[in-house]
Amino acid sequence: MIGTRCGIHISKQGKIHCKGRIIINDSVMLQTQKQGQIHIGKQFYTNRYTRIIAHERIEIGHNVTLGQMVSILDHDHRYTFEGDDLQLDGYVTSSIKIGNNVWIADKVTILKGVTIGDNVVVGANSLVHKDVPANSVVGGVPFRVLKEL
């Protein structure tokens, strides 16, 4: 099921693969760039205004729920300064893997190169900048483990 005002863009060599029933709410962006791939497992649900953008690879396991305004980005802009001028020049990429049975609450940002283990809850407004251990509840900016399950 795909809601209204969604932006789904698959680049010429990109791929979005869904293994089962998924629900994509209104105003969600799924996008691949160049050879980027997004792999989504069974029982996936994402709420409004979420964006998932893959330049390399984003893998999402089974039974994963995303809150509103979640950003999952497997890239950063490459930049330099020439004198006082900021110059953007391409991207630095690294794959993301999200395990099974994961709930990612509202306004979470997941950065490149991260692996989130199975059975994880990520609290609202968190910044996930490094790997998250399985069987845990995490939260904060940057996140820290709040509880082991």
Instruction: Establish whether 55 is a catalytic residue.
Output: no
CA–CA dist 30, 50 (Å, integer): 8
User: Which tokens hold the place of 68?
Assistant: 């509103």
> Please, which residues bridge with residue 139 across strands?
144
Using the 8-state DSSP alphabet, how is residue 101 labeled?
S
> Please, which residues bridge with residue 6 across strands?
none
Using the 8-state DSSP alphabet, how is residue 111 labeled?
-
CA–CA dist 70, 49 (Å, integer): 7
Name the active-site residue from 39, 55, 62, 77. Answer: 77
The catalytic site residues sit at 77
